[in-house]
Chain A
Amino acid sequence: MSAATPSVQEVKKTTCYMCACRCGIRVHMVDGQVRYIDGNPDHPLNQGVICAKGSSGIMKQYSPARLTKPLLRKPGSERGAGEFEPISWEQAFTILSERLAKIRATDPKKFALFTGRDQMQALTGLFARQFGTPNYAAHGGFCSVNMAAGMIYTIGGSFWEFGGPDLDRAKLFVMIGTAEDHHSNPMKIALSKFKRNGGRFVSINPVRTGYSAIADEWVPIRPGTDGALLLAIIHEIIAQGLYDRDFLVRYTNAGQLVNLDAKSDEFGMFLRTEVPEEEGCFDPQNKLWWDRAANKPVITHTEGCDPFLLGEFRLADGTPVKPSFQLLADRVKDYTPEWAEGLTGIPAATIKRLAYEMGVTARDQKIELPIAWTDSWGKEHDTVTGNPVAFHAMRGLAAHSNGFHTIRALAILMSLLGTIDRPGGFRHKAPFPRPIPPCAKTPNTPLAVKPDSPLDGMALGWPAEPDDLFVDEEGKPVRIDKAFSWEYPLSVHGLMHNVITNAWRGDPYRIDTLLIFMANMAWNSTMNTVEVRKMLNDKDEQGEYRIPFIAVCDAFQSEMTAFADLVLPDTTYLERHDVMSMLDRPISEFDGPVDSVRIPVLPPTGECKPFQEVLIELGTRLKLPVFVKKDGTRKYRDYPDFIVNYETEPGSGIGFLAGWRGKGGEKFMRGEPNPRQWEMYAANNCVYHHALPKSYQYMRNWNQGYLEWSQRNRITRYAEPILIHLYSEVLQKFRLAAQGKGITRKPPAHLKQRIETYFDPLPFYFDPLEVQATDTHKYPLAAVTQRPMAMYHSWDSQNAWLRQIHAHNYLFINARTARLAGIDDGDWIWVESQWGKVRCMARHSEAVEPGTVWTWNAIGKAAGAWNLTPDANESKLGFLLNHVISEELPAGQARISNSDPITGQAAWYDVRVRIGKVGLQDTATTAPQFEPLKPYPGQEERRSLWSYMKGAVK
């Protein structure tokens, strides 16, 4: 060992971006090269720890897969072949701005901008809106929109960025449908503390990996049946009286009376004392309870009144009514544990025990904190109380076509246990809670899309009723992905997974230019990969590409970049400014809002340019209003300048960053631009953390002090209490429209049945749509993926260290299931769904339930992609499950997205497959195979030996 001690010459702080977790990091530099990246101990999110990905940032920075020059597809070469010639940025901007200017002047919706997990949706969304196109979304639709929508439409907040389990105080933690996923390091920190404090951890998952590994109990469940389990638990909680009645009465709509007059246009709606002008999105407190003492209807929250939660009543005019809790109880009456056992594979006794554990822990281990607060109705409370049962859920629940209702059921269960924004339960994070649904709306007419004008409304929003849908007079979608249409009314994150298919088919219309940022839509981020790749390269009868122009911005050579006409090289996270903005998805903590930034620690490699700079430059060239001065000249020098000086409206004082606003940085949330804002972030670990007073930290849906603070700081428009929607009037409004009732728009005939069925105001269980459309005798097994902890989707196969951990992937099969199919451990097999098949290797496992097969997500790669050699494990031995998943399902004569009928959430985990050993003539290589990609101009050569030392090759 050499005696020389490395001298760490410089330590720069910024924010990690090896996944979407956004930990604080310290980058230790030697002679301008990265020597070591570790967690920043002073950062609230990760408190000094770092994960495998974060520790491998060096290998991302210096990866040969990096794109370093703008590239134009060689004339005459096919899309997908990856034949490019380098061009200058000036040429790239000219090509793009000329093309986009023409589109904007004629029909702005012919430009579509879709982005991956980019952490800059505030800016990309602003650009799209300013451009005037409705065709913008990020990856949420194929990620976890059910989780966001299902919970936000129920409790006004959601997991991950917007809320999470309070494991500091919980006694029982139930994780369902989560492997390692979102919020990775904070979750790991919390789980460890929770276990060491003696908490009980139950994991419900078809597979036992990752976090589930350390659960005190693993409850294997069949994929897509979580809703049945949750409804059965709700059944048991209600049957045993284990719900928190006081909480339900005061903080939810459980006691509100529902009109059950089937003939009324108001059928299924809450009764209201009067109908005020409903301006905006708040929920006026004008509903009725049936008071127990007076035995008559009273306005909710009337002092001294206590409503019946159960029972059936008649108003003076004879209208039959029931409290919504009674409707819930009616709904779950037949959802017994015995019924759920048949669907979930979980013994009824286990389901009951789980319900009892939750109910008894919630009831008997109450937490009481000496924190005085005042609720929205003016009642003062001496203490904050809590029921220490916490939940966490993610894509395992979300990525099913029945996921929205499953997640509603989860949110309702959490509410029944009285655990919303209380210690030991679920806690919100700013800017949540927000009204149900939040205020932002899309336009509701195609007239909002006008040449040379910004879009009149947001491209993404939160519909509260049919009139909020973004459809034309015939009810046809305005957006290319058909989001906010009758097909998927509450598709609040869009349906990126259908953009290519829709644009290719010209349904609802053809587009001209598709700009993709950081999403691998020709591989792991698309379903039906083989066909989608053909669509990207398909030409019409005139010999024109069906999608005439595709531009892709990415830092790495991916399968998607190969299909681009124009490739724009993005920087890595170490080379750019970024903001984790309150306008997007900040990194708030339970105790208050937090936002953070990235500050470059290295100059851009080659000609790399951050995508933000590209957008600002394009915006300026296109003279989009916010990017230019009145006289049409450039308004913002660059992205950092934009971040400091941009305000949502002139003088609003609201910008991308909430910290150190005001001339001298003395203000928070609102304040005039502060020219030294970046420096102040830099001096403070790149993070702004505003801890709320203790009395504002809990019960925020109904906490007068908090809601007024939030309103004053313009986090929310209104300060009305946010009652939990056990019963969802929003859904009922759509159902009424489908039934032809009321004055709102009505769905087109062919979708009436669909809307009426799925827009049920109470959660219900149905087999996922794909399962309904599958011969399950022929295709008996559910096939799902899990994200490994040491990889971020497809992103890290170019990382020399991380790819050694996951070089290729196997299909994990329960050992018994495999043996019954004659499959030995390690055999090559075919996995076949009704849509396609893939050849891969089998691995026996005892940690997967017998009806499920699974693999790690996105390890398999196309040959030569990510600048790996064509014989790399990823493309020869690894496989992509996406080949057997379809982006569409047959719907009568037409086809409809393979998604949740409410939210458009991609139903990744609904596919059913069969497995079988390969024939003797089959080679021991994964199939399908694709023509290997060649390295692009400007890419570094692939080393065959790398001895990394302080950036030098020794």
Chain B
Amino acid sequence: MHPAFSVIFLTTLIGVGQGLFLALFTVESYSAFGLLPPQPSRFYALGSAVALGFLVAGLVASFFHLGHPERAWRSAAKWRTSWLSREVIVLPAFMGTVCLYGAAHFSGFNPVLATLPSGAPVNVTAMLGVAGTVLAFALFVCTGMIYACLRFLQEWHTPLTVINYILLGGASGFVLACALAAVAAQEVSGFLGVWAMILTALAFIGRVASLLRNARLRPKSGLRTAIGIKHPHIAQKAQGAMGGSFNTREFFHGRSAAFLKRVKWVFLLLVFALPLGLLAGGFASAAFFIQYLGLIAERWFFFAQANHPQNLYYQAVS
């Protein structure tokens, strides 16, 4: 596939936003259960604002992907069948929830609504946090499933796609949370740093698992089924157009295999190795910065590696 930067930014930016929110609510939950010291609400408010910023940026990026962004509202219509439609519903819902969560913390409007048997108070931010968590995961699933549901894009058609969206988004969010904590909640920066490292390590496992899986993939389609001629030697000579077409622009990355390989090593380094080192060294901001750059490379690779069966029809001109 041709990696479109609109989608690369959309998925990576909202991933950071989702992960950051999950980190915030993780801290709040731990605090609620007394496992961490309570944090000032400005930490949550600031964190929510930053998460929202990423989500908005992602949303804005997504509009660049659309031929008719003014009609984007229509895309909520087919939520029964389309993961994209579901994403379009869940994303604003999640953004709204994050917004409310942040606002509640910012304004201090946080009445206790109930008390759990354990004595832990169930307040507004906790409710919003749970809702936000559910929505964040739902959004990860939707985003992941947009790709994972395309069964003939074999590189994507695996639960690992969804898992990796969750893990990579989560890791980048926790790294960012760790960096924010260094400014606004130093007490929990260690806690977040550990989680960030755990998630980054898990994401590494997940991503490497998918790389290993994809390396072993056998394309289910070949020219034999594409044109229905059972012969071991089939070669395309002409594709009907010589100046390129939508099919050659949308579905090919146009880079060499060596370039792809380089990108792979770059993202493995930037997303996983360096951030782990930097986090261990306490350089959370640098870790986030490096990791996000790496995620752009990772997402570029994610698209580029997906080999669309339509490409079988677009191998040669003459």
A–B proximity contact (CB within 8 A): yes
**A-to-B contact residues, CB < 8 Å:** 804-810, 812, 843-847, 873
The stretch of B61-69, B239-247, B275-283 in contact with A is B239-247
The answer to whether A807 touches B318, judged by C-beta atoms less than 8 angstroms apart, is no
Is B71 interfacial (CB-CB < 8 Å)?
no
Is B235 interfacial (CB-CB < 8 Å)?
yes
The answer to whether A804 touches B242, judged by C-beta atoms less than 8 angstroms apart, is yes
B261-318 interface (Cβ within 8 A of A): 316, 318
The answer to whether A846 touches B233, judged by C-beta atoms less than 8 angstroms apart, is yes
Q: How far is the CB of B299 from chain A (nearest CB, A)?
A: 31
The answer to whether B235 touches A810, judged by C-beta atoms less than 8 angstroms apart, is no
A947-B150 Cα distance, complex, nearest whole Å: 33
Given contacts A846-B233, A873-B242, 11 further A-B contacts (CB under 8 A): A804-B241, A804-B242, A805-B240, A805-B241, A807-B243, A808-B242, A809-B318, A810-B318, A812-B318, A843-B237, A843-B318
Closest to A812 in B: B318
The answer to whether B242 touches A845, judged by C-beta atoms less than 8 angstroms apart, is no
The answer to whether B243 touches A873, judged by C-beta atoms less than 8 angstroms apart, is yes
The answer to whether B242 touches A806, judged by C-beta atoms less than 8 angstroms apart, is yes
The answer to whether A804 touches B243, judged by C-beta atoms less than 8 angstroms apart, is yes
Q: A810-B318, A812-B318 are in contact. Are A845 and B243 (CB under 8 A)?
A: no
**Which residues of chain B are near A846, meaning CB under 8 Å?**
233, 235
Q: How far is the CB of B117 from chain A (nearest CB, A)?
A: 60
A807-B248 Cα distance, complex, nearest whole Å: 16
A193-B318 Cα distance, complex, nearest whole Å: 29
**Which residues of chain A are near B318, meaning CB under 8 Å?**
809-810, 812, 843
**Which residues of chain B are near A809, meaning CB under 8 Å?**
318
A844-B315 Cα distance, complex, nearest whole Å: 13
Closest to A872 in B: B243
A804-B243 Cα distance, complex, nearest whole Å: 6
Q: How far is the CB of B122 from chain A (nearest CB, A)?
A: 53
Closest 4 CB pairs of A and B: A807-B242, A843-B318, A810-B318, A807-B243
Q: How far is the CB of A161 from chain B (nearest CB, A)?
A: 31
Q: How large is the interface on B (under 10, 10 to 19, 20 to 34, 35 or more residues)?
A: under 10
A807-B237 Cα distance, complex, nearest whole Å: 14
**Which residues of chain A are near B243, meaning CB under 8 Å?**
804, 807, 873
A812-B317 Cα distance, complex, nearest whole Å: 12
**Which residues of chain B are near A847, meaning CB under 8 Å?**
237
A873-B241 Cα distance, complex, nearest whole Å: 12
Q: Which one of B233, B237, B241 contacts A845 once the chains associate, using CB atoms below 8 Å?
A: B237
Residue from B237, B241, B318 whose CB has the most chain A CB atoms within 10 Å: B318
Q: A810-B318, A812-B318, A843-B318 are in contact. Are A805 and B242 (CB under 8 A)?
A: yes
B219-245 interface (Cβ within 8 A of A): 233, 235, 237, 240-243
A805-B245 Cα distance, complex, nearest whole Å: 11
**Which residues of chain B are near A810, meaning CB under 8 Å?**
318
A815-B243 Cα distance, complex, nearest whole Å: 24
**Which residues of chain A are near B242, meaning CB under 8 Å?**
804-808, 873
A856-B233 Cα distance, complex, nearest whole Å: 24
Residue from A804, A845, A847 whose CB has the most chain B CB atoms within 10 Å: A804
Closest to B242 in A: A807
B64-109 interface (Cβ within 8 A of A): none
**Which residues of chain B are near A808, meaning CB under 8 Å?**
242
**Which residues of chain A are near B237, meaning CB under 8 Å?**
843, 845, 847
A873-B233 Cα distance, complex, nearest whole Å: 30
**Which residues of chain A are near B235, meaning CB under 8 Å?**
844, 846
A844-B233 Cα distance, complex, nearest whole Å: 13
Q: How far is the CB of B13 from chain A (nearest CB, A)?
A: 32
A526-B233 Cα distance, complex, nearest whole Å: 39
**Which residues of chain A are near B233, meaning CB under 8 Å?**
846
A205-B157 Cα distance, complex, nearest whole Å: 47
Q: How far is the CB of B74 from chain A (nearest CB, A)?
A: 15
Closest to A859 in B: B242
B178-235 interface (Cβ within 8 A of A): 233, 235
A559-B235 Cα distance, complex, nearest whole Å: 36
A915-B316 Cα distance, complex, nearest whole Å: 22
A-B contact pairs, 13 of them (CB 8 A): A804-B241, A804-B243, A805-B242, A806-B242, A807-B243, A809-B318, A812-B318, A843-B318, A845-B237, A846-B235, A847-B237, A873-B242, A873-B243
Q: How far is the CB of A587 from chain B (nearest CB, A)?
A: 31
Closest to B243 in A: A807
Closest to B241 in A: A804
**Which residues of chain B are near A844, meaning CB under 8 Å?**
235
**Which residues of chain A are near B240, meaning CB under 8 Å?**
805
A809-B237 Cα distance, complex, nearest whole Å: 12
A251-B318 Cα distance, complex, nearest whole Å: 48
Closest to A788 in B: B238
A807-B233 Cα distance, complex, nearest whole Å: 27
Closest to A843 in B: B318
Closest to B235 in A: A846
A808-B237 Cα distance, complex, nearest whole Å: 13
Closest to B238 in A: A805
Residue from B233, B240, B241, B243 whose CB has the most chain A CB atoms within 10 Å: B243
Q: How far is the CB of A357 from chain B (nearest CB, A)?
A: 26
A893-B243 Cα distance, complex, nearest whole Å: 48
A846-B316 Cα distance, complex, nearest whole Å: 14
A844-B237 Cα distance, complex, nearest whole Å: 9
A808-B318 Cα distance, complex, nearest whole Å: 8
Q: How far is the CB of A35 from chain B (nearest CB, A)?
A: 24
Q: How far is the CB of A447 from chain B (nearest CB, A)?
A: 55
Q: How far is the CB of B126 from chain A (nearest CB, A)?
A: 50
A600-B316 Cα distance, complex, nearest whole Å: 41
Closest to A856 in B: B318
**Which residues of chain B are near A845, meaning CB under 8 Å?**
237
Closest to A808 in B: B242
Q: How far is the CB of A816 from chain B (nearest CB, A)?
A: 13
Q: How far is the CB of A86 from chain B (nearest CB, A)?
A: 32
A873-B243 Cα distance, complex, nearest whole Å: 8
Closest to B233 in A: A846
Closest to A806 in B: B242
A809-B318 Cα distance, complex, nearest whole Å: 6
**Which residues of chain B are near A805, meaning CB under 8 Å?**
240-242
Q: How far is the CB of A326 from chain B (nearest CB, A)?
A: 49
A846-B233 Cα distance, complex, nearest whole Å: 10
A805-B235 Cα distance, complex, nearest whole Å: 19
A804-B240 Cα distance, complex, nearest whole Å: 8
A847-B242 Cα distance, complex, nearest whole Å: 20
A852-B266 Cα distance, complex, nearest whole Å: 47
**Which residues of chain B are near A806, meaning CB under 8 Å?**
242
**Which residues of chain B are near A873, meaning CB under 8 Å?**
242-243
A812-B237 Cα distance, complex, nearest whole Å: 10
A807-B240 Cα distance, complex, nearest whole Å: 10
A873-B237 Cα distance, complex, nearest whole Å: 18
Contact with A along B239-260 (1 / 0, CB 8 A): 0111100000000000000000
Q: How far is the CB of B235 from chain A (nearest CB, A)?
A: 7
A125-B233 Cα distance, complex, nearest whole Å: 53
**Which residues of chain B are near A807, meaning CB under 8 Å?**
242-243
**Which residues of chain A are near B241, meaning CB under 8 Å?**
804-805
A586-B235 Cα distance, complex, nearest whole Å: 42
A66-B318 Cα distance, complex, nearest whole Å: 27
**Which residues of chain A are near B316, meaning CB under 8 Å?**
843
Contact with A along B38-65 (1 / 0, CB 8 A): 0000000000000000000000000000
A846-B234 Cα distance, complex, nearest whole Å: 10
A133-B242 Cα distance, complex, nearest whole Å: 46
A807-B242 Cα distance, complex, nearest whole Å: 6
A810-B317 Cα distance, complex, nearest whole Å: 9
Q: How far is the CB of B67 from chain A (nearest CB, A)?
A: 15
Q: How far is the CB of B318 from chain A (nearest CB, A)?
A: 5
A847-B240 Cα distance, complex, nearest whole Å: 18
A804-B244 Cα distance, complex, nearest whole Å: 9
Q: How far is the CB of A818 from chain B (nearest CB, A)?
A: 13
Q: How far is the CB of A789 from chain B (nearest CB, A)?
A: 12
A806-B241 Cα distance, complex, nearest whole Å: 7
A299-B241 Cα distance, complex, nearest whole Å: 65
A843-B237 Cα distance, complex, nearest whole Å: 8
Residue from B237, B240, B242, B243 whose CB has the most chain A CB atoms within 10 Å: B242
